[in-house]
């Protein structure tokens, strides 16, 4: 599927504005694995006829890692810059595949003057399926396969979004198996709070190893994620146990794009 994504600057130059801004995020822009999630979501948006744009080179980090690491000054500098750009384009709705971007744009940008309707991609995909805009190809791609979903901290406990990703997965002709620690009792993958970017502290086990062990105990064909950081941590965990040939880690957007043959 070949198509071109327009930037907000291009929309503005044409005197137009998209229905929604796709906030790609640092991981979705620069991490090779996360770029596949970005492409899957872009395919879904294009397939459904959604008029969307991106900031492109004008998008910078939301400042989430800086804030979580305790550098409030740096966070506010980054946030104010983003808010100035977003407000300059009159952005009203934002969709993102990163719960960290989702959380900070939704809950912490408003106090700095950034008021937007922010949607996580699993919520949008769920709505598009309900509206009949995404037709899944008879579920054959995942028929009989076992899938377990890992709740991202900033999506689940941070914002109370548990049902949307599970409703999306329920549309696949697969078996959804829950880990013992799930929903409000879910276990962090180990990347949140800027932990992704620092050395491990003393202990006898990595958190992502612990979480991956829980997922693998169900013998799933797929560990489904809704966050690029969770995806990285769980992929590493699955590799730690040498299970990458039998268990794959995939974002929900990738699963739906594959099931819909986009």
> 120-145 pLDDT, tens per residue?
999 999 999 999 999 887 656 888 89
> For position 140, what pLDDT does the model report?
61
% of the chain exceeding 70 in pLDDT: 98
Residues 104-132 have a mean pLDDT of: 98
User: Which pLDDT value is given to residue 136?
Assistant: 86
Mean pLDDT of 151-175: 96
Q: What are the two backbone dihedrals, phi and then psi, of residue 219, each rounded to the nearest 5 degrees?
A: 55, 50
Say what the pTM is: 0.94
The pLDDT-based confidence of 105 (bands split at 50, 70, 90) is very high
Average pLDDT of every residue of the chain = 95
* pLDDT of 137: 75
pLDDT at 203 over 90: no
Alpha carbon 144 to its chain's center? 25
Residue 196 CA: distances (Å) to CA of 54, 65, 206, 229: 26, 9, 12, 8
Q: What domains sit in the chain, N to C, each tagged with a CATH number?
A: 6-125 (3.40.50.1860), 137-259 (3.40.50)
Q: Write down the pLDDT at residue 194.
A: 74
- Residue 156's nearest CA partner among 146, 148, 165 is 165
Q: What is the pLDDT of residue 29?
A: 97
Q: Residue 139 has what pLDDT?
A: 55
- For the record, the structure tokens of 121 come out as 């991609």
pLDDT per residue as tens digits for the range 25-48: 999 999 999 999 999 999 999 999
d(CA 213, CA 36) in angstroms, rounded, equals 25
């Amino acid at each position: 599927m070949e198509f071109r994504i327009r930037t907000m600057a291009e929309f503005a130059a044409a005197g137009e504005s998209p229905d929604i801004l796709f906030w790609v995020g640092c991981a979705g822009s620069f991490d090779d694995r996360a770029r596949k999630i970005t492409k899957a979501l872009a395919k879904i948006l294009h397939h459904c006829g959604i008029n969307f744009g991106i900031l492109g080179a004008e998008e910078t980090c939301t400042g989430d890692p800086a804030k979580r690491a305790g550098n409030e000054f740096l966070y506010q500098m980054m946030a104010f810059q983003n808010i100035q750009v977003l407000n300059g384009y009159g952005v009203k709705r934002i969709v993102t595949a990163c719960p960290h971007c989702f959380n900070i744009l939704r809950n912490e940008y408003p106090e700095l003057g950034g008021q937007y309707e922010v949607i996580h991609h699993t919520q949008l995909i769920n709505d598009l399926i309900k509206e009949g805009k995404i037709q899944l190809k008879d579920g054959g791609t995942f028929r009989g396969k076992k899938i377990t979903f890992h709740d991202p901290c900033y999506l689940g406990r941070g914002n109370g979004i548990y049902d949307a990703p599970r409703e999306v997965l329920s549309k696949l002709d697969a078996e959804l198996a829950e880990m013992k620690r799930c929903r409000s009792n879910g276990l962090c993958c180990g990347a949140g709070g800027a932990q992704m970017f620092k050395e491990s502290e003393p202990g006898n086990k990595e958190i992502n190893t612990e979480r991956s062990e829980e997922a693998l105990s169900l013998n799933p064909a797929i560990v489904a994620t809704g966050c690029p950081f969770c995806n990285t941590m769980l992929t590493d965990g699955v590799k730690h146990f040498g299970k990458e040939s039998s268990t794959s880690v995939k974002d929900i957007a990738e699963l739906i794009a594959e099931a819909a043959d986009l």
